[in-house]
Amino acid sequence: MDWTYPAGAGDAGIFEIGRRLAEHLGRLPDATSFTHDTREMMRITRRVETAAVSGVLLAGFQTASKFDVEAPRYKELVSAGTRVTVWATSRPSVAMDRIEYREVEPGTSQLENQWFLVSDAPEPIAFVSWEIGDPTTFGVGGAAAAGKRFVGFVSDDRGVIDALVQALREVPGLVPPLPPSEMAEAEPTVDPRIAATIAAVGELVPPESGASSGAVVVAVGREDSEGPLRLGMAIAKAERRDLVLVDRSGEGLFASPYADQRGDDDMRPRKDALFDAMIARREGRMDTANAIEAARTLGVNAGGWFPTAAGADGLHAALCQFNGALLVVPASTRDPRIAERIRGMSLPSLERFGVPVIVAA
């Protein structure tokens, strides 16, 4: 069975995969459904992981960095007795005992380079998806990132699962797995960007905010985010406040693509809750993920939030939603460009919110 996605086929290529599968089985596969919905794909992956507990799980992450995001969850699966094999490009930053990791060559159409979960014990179940968007951004960012497109299927047909298991078991790893003794001794590495943020915050002497009790709300995600991020983190640490990072990187001129967030999936951003570093990385917001991790290393309770409206309206919503007591903004708010003025990101507009506004240098 050839699982390579047809070149240039777009969405329709999944039907060629289905045709090959039917030819391989000599029949139409039973109980197999196809999907393009990434939200549904996320839910399916959790169901497959749950079904594989104490059994066997074969998982494709595309890249080692994506496996790093899910490492805590997979540590729990292994602790529950699940035998896990992972396929991805490059090497993970954290090695885990009792996980067989197979590093593979980069590619965009081969099965081993895709996002998949397959289990043949204790019961047969599989989810397989192919990324078919821009090949230059293959494997970069979260499943819901702009421009991402996936097609895939879910099946509990024993013949389908057997064909997948056989194909995956025949894919060799570029580097032999570390012996369990070495994996157990491997120390987690600290991202240099996180270390740099921690060091920079440690050198700051933040001003006293004079704000009432509540969280520090910081506008991040645009080109001049570093100053407000570090200053907001320093204030939160010094005054023992929570830190809310409002990631504005995806907002438009008049609206935000996150205005219609739903609260029915714990693995997706929500309107009424802050997200952690894992969700930030899944959404492709690596800088925000690193900032959350840096803050928590410093003892600051931090989380991210995607604004439900653009500019000042989004920051005001965050202040109201998360008990914000002060706002930290970039220096550009003193003389904003026209797009930011349209979004209300000028100092006079922000000062109308009734909380102290601190401008980062």
Q: Quote the pLDDT of residue 187.
A: 47
Mean pLDDT of 152-158: 93
242-284: per-residue pLDDT in tens? 999 999 988 888 888 777 765 555 556 788 889 988 788 777 7
The amino acid at residue 111 is L
Mean pLDDT of 3-32: 90
304-330: per-residue pLDDT in tens? 999 999 999 999 999 999 999 999 999
Backbone angles phi, psi at 350, to 5 degrees: -70, -30
Closest listed residue to residue 311, CA positions, set 343, 336, 341, 333:
343
The amino acid at residue 337 is R
183 falls in which pLDDT band (50, 70, 90)? Answer: very low
Q: Quote the pLDDT of residue 261.
A: 65
Given a cut of 80, is residue 175 above it in pLDDT? Answer: no
Residues 6+ apart with CB under 8 A from 169: none
SS (H, E, C) the chain: CCCCCCCCCHHHHHHHHHHHHHHHHCCCCCCEEEECCHHHHHHHHHHHHHHCCCCEEEEEEEEHHHHHHHHHHHHHHHHCCCEEEEEEECCCCCCCCCEEEEECCCCCCCHHHCEEEEEEECCCEEEEEEECCCHHHCCCCCCCCCCCCEEEEEECCHHHHHHHHHHHHCCCCCCCCCCHHHHHHCCCCCCHHHHHHHHHHHHCCCCCCCCCCCEEEEEECCCCCHHHHHHHHHHHHHHCCCEEEEECCCCCCCCCCCCCCCCCCCCCCECCECECHHHHHHCCCHHHHHHHHHHHHCCCCEEEECCCCCHHHHHHHHHHHCCEEEEEECHHHHCCCHHHHHCCCCHHHHHCCCCCEEECC
232 falls in which pLDDT band (50, 70, 90)? Answer: very high
Query: How many C-beta neighbours within 10 Å does residue 223 have?
Result: 8
pTM assigned to the model: 0.56
Given a cut of 50, is residue 184 above it in pLDDT? Answer: no
Query: How many C-beta neighbours within 10 Å does residue 168 have?
Result: 19
Q: Quote the pLDDT of residue 262.
A: 56
Cα angle vertex 271, ends 252, 193, to 5°? Answer: 70
How confident is the prediction for the chain on average, in pLDDT?
88
Q: Distance between the two ends of the chain, CA-based, in angstroms?
A: 60
Residues 6+ apart with CB under 8 A from 113: 60, 62, 87, 89, 104, 106, 107, 138, 139
Q: Quote the pLDDT of residue 37.
A: 81
Block residue for tokens 């026209």: 338
174 falls in which pLDDT band (50, 70, 90)? Answer: confident
The amino acid at residue 62 is Q
If one compares 123 and 327, the residue with the highest pLDDT of the two is: 327
335-345: per-residue pLDDT in tens? 999 999 999 99
Q: Quote the pLDDT of residue 255.
A: 81
189 falls in which pLDDT band (50, 70, 90)? Answer: low
Cα angle vertex 288, ends 282, 294, to 5°? Answer: 115
218 falls in which pLDDT band (50, 70, 90)? Answer: very high
Given a cut of 80, is residue 155 above it in pLDDT? Answer: yes
